[in-house]
Structure 1
Amino acid sequence: MGLIKEEEDSRNAALTLVMENSELCFPHLLNASCRRPKHTHFEAIFIYVLASFISLLTVFLNLMVIISISHFRQLQSPTNTLLLSLAVSDFLVGFLMCFHIMFIDGCWLLGDGVCVTYQYLAYIITSSSVGTMVLISVDRYVAICDPMFYSTKITMKRVKICIVLSWFCSSSFQGLNLSDNLKHPGRYNTCIGECIFVINYIVGLADLIITFIVPITVIIVLYTRVFVVAVSHARAMRSQIAAVTHGSAKGSEIKAAGTLGVVIVVFLLCICPYYCVTLVGENTVLTASSVISGVSLFYLNSCLNPMIYAFFYPWFRKSIKLIVTLKLLQRDSCEANML
């Protein structure tokens, strides 16, 4: 009996060891590996499928926006150039979601170098998206509140310079923001299979003010002014004070402002949780999983933007049909009437 009991104990111990090893990110590194969070098989499959679908849809829809504005000359306006910059950001977010998918099981398998690169790209894309939203607000403000000088103030050259500066400043500032993590990848990891970086409270507060509070304040102030002026113009057109042709031009600008206003409101709702992590406390330590939880809405926003275009912009729906049917490969397709 004693021998049988010893065999059972030995078998149970071996089974327990196997179960514990299966919960490790790297089973061959018993004392150094991180443990996987516990998920049911159904939960894991559901999250994988949902995240993969959103990632592919985000990449596809924003690729349609990029191709449409880049190919069809009639769509190459200052406003649409800003939408092109936003679509590039959203397109890159679709690829970043691949890291989201790979980290669903709680284990980072790609090494410290890829981890810090992922963090750096996420910060650049986020701050550049905020910068683009500010430029869109300025564009609509001038178009609605100072229409007589719109064509002279908002030119393609100026818009392109502003977009380049926005991306350059985002890259430079976030390089400084994450300099310690970039110099020493993985220094804050407590086990192998983890992706951790530290946000110093002072640096995090500066990032919050420069890339969130100030730009969002500018966006809200400008669009509040745009809304007030647009309402007054709409009342004037309804009362037939304005001329028919004048009213038509104003109507198109107001409609564009309304559409881009929806884009901005959705963006603000989705990006706020992303920046809330910097308010947690001093020297906040963030894991990739906690960042992913905080930026899930931001990722979703990148998929929602082209859906908003498809709902409000007939030219986007028309361009998708031409792209999917490969009619853009025809000669002089770039000169097609899209408006």
Structure 2
Amino acid sequence: MEKLEVVAVTGMVILSLFAIIGNTTIIALFFKVRSLQTPSNIFVVSLAFTELFVGGILYPVQCLFDFKVINDNPGCIIFACLAMATALVHVLTILSLSIERLVTICKPMVYSTIITEKRCYTTLFLISVYSLLNGLLPVITPIGVTSSLQKDCRMDRVLVSEVYVLWLYANWILSLLVVIIISIKLFFVVRRHSRAIAATELQRATTRVAVNRNETNSRFKLKREAKSAFLLISIVVYLTITWIPRIVATLIKDESQLVHMITHFLIYSNTVATPFIYGFGNKLYRQHFISMLRS
């Protein structure tokens, strides 16, 4: 085995291990702790299921294709379908979570009437159906090459329809652009609220005015929601940065094995970033995780 492959396998094992541990923990906490079963966390646990599948199964299989251990075309098409479907599920779920966070921060008084558990589950069902229909097209239609073996298992060689490939990229990129726009909006709103809270607390401290309990609870909740929005923004920034090299490599048609391995590692690293940044960045998740370890 070459040094490049040894490094790639080592990175894959470490990344997959952390993805399995992190996402499994998020899923277990969600179903065990009733207070964590909120509309927002419904989307978080959906991301955890998706990333558990991607990090635990798809990434190791991707390495087999990169090392040319698997090269048969039918296997390529099945893998490509799953990869495309999960990529769409991932970005559309983050989009849904971004919208939920925006409503939480900007429309707190009507949040409970707009965002309900039923609507969250319905949204996730529609996302899954839409993503699978898009991802399965190469299997059920002639746009997937199934009659001959390919030299490498890559999307541009497995799929013969450029329009279809562009459609998939358009779905993903447009969804990400909307997420970025929402994140920018959230950033400025959260910054404004944080400054208002800091000014209020400073005024209270200097004037020594008694603090109303309801007002304190309201500020505490706003701080928590602001931090959650900041963590989501961090995830979006990381997602964008890790996908840029893959998009650039596709546009310039760089087909070197090293570039493919590096860009795939960056993309699949999102399976670790989301649970550890957004999940364990949440104080409630951390507290219940510590309690679970102690018990």
- Give the TM-score normalised by the residue count of structure 1: 0.73
Correspondence for 1:308 among 255, 277, 289? 277
2:266 counterpart (290, 294, 297): 297
State whether structure 2 residue 187 is matched by structure 1 residue 238.
Answer: no
- Partner residue of 1:263 out of 235, 245, 269: 235
| Aligned Cα root-mean-square deviation (Å) | 2.9
| Overall identity of the aligned pairs, in % | 23
Residues 26, 279 of structure 2: 8 Å contact kept: no
Structure label with greater radius of gyration: 1
| Residue 61 (1) aligns with residue 9 (2) | no
Ranked by relative contact order (alpha carbons within 8 Å, sequence separation 6 or more), the top structure is 2
Task: Output the CA distance in 1 between the equivalents of 2:98 and 2:189.
Answer: 14
Secondary structure of 1:312's aligned partner: coil
Superimposed CA distance per residue, residues 100-125 of structure 1 (whole angstroms, 9 cap, x where no aligned partner): 3334533316x433322111111111
Shift, 1:146, TM fit:
1.0
Inter-partner Cα distance in structure 1 for 2:23 and 2:98: 21
Q: Is this contact kept in 2: 1:65–1:306, CA < 8 A?
A: yes
**Matching of residue 101 in structure 1 with residue 63 in structure 2:** yes
User: 1:122-175 deviations in whole A, cap 9, x for unaligned?
Assistant: 111111101011101101110111111111101111011001111110111222
SS at match of 2:195: helix
2:170 matched to which residue of 1?
209
Match of 2:187 among 221, 227, 237: 227
In structure 1, stretches of 5+ residues that fail to align are 1-38, 328-339
Structure 1 runs of 4+ with >6 Å offset: 286-290
Structure with the higher fraction of residues in helix conformation: 2
State the distance in 2 between where 1:301 and 1:65 align: 15
Separation (CA, whole Å) in 1 of partners of 2:162 and 2:250: 7
Number of aligned pairs? 279
Equivalents in 1 of 2:228, 2:217: separation in Å?
Answer: 17
SS across alignment from 1:259 = helix
Asked if structure 2 preserves the Cα contact closer than 8 Å seen for 1:271 and 1:295, the reply is no
What is the rounded CA distance, in whole Å, between the counterparts of 2:276 and 2:182 in structure 1?
24
Letter matched to residue 128 of structure 1: V
The alpha carbon displacement at 1:277 in A equals 5.5
Q: Give the corresponding residue for 1:331.
A: none
- Gap runs ≥5 in structure 2: 205-214
Cα distance in 2 between the residues matched to 1:78 and 1:114 = 37
Give the aligned partner of residue 32 of structure 1: none
Query: 2:253 aligned with 1:253, yes or no?
Result: no
After superposition, residues 141-290 of structure 1 pair within 5 angstroms as: 141-176=102-137, 184-185=145-146, 187=148, 189-190=150-151, 194-195=152-153, 196-198=157-159, 200-212=161-173, 214-240=174-200, 243-276=215-248, 279-280=251-252
In 1, the alpha carbon distance for the partners of 2:19 and 2:232 equals: 19
* Aligned-partner Cα distance in 2 for 1:100–1:278: 17
SS class of match (2:158): strand
Indicate how the Cα distance of structure 1 residues 223 and 309 shifts in structure 2: closer, same or farther if over 3 A, else same: closer
Cα deviation digits, residues 239-266 of structure 1 (max 9, x gap) = 2189433322211111111111112211
Code of the residue aligned with 1:139 in structure 2: it is: E
What displacement does 1:235 show?
1.6
- Supply the AA of the counterpart residue of 1:239: A
| Partner Cα distance (1:235, 1:98) in 2 | 45
Aligned residue type for 2:98: S
Amino acid at match of 1:211: W
Could you tell me the TM-score, scaled by structure 2's length? 0.82
Q: 1:293 to 1:171 in 2, by over 3 A?
A: farther
2:53 pairs with 1:92: yes
Is 1:129 the equivalent of 2:107?
A: no
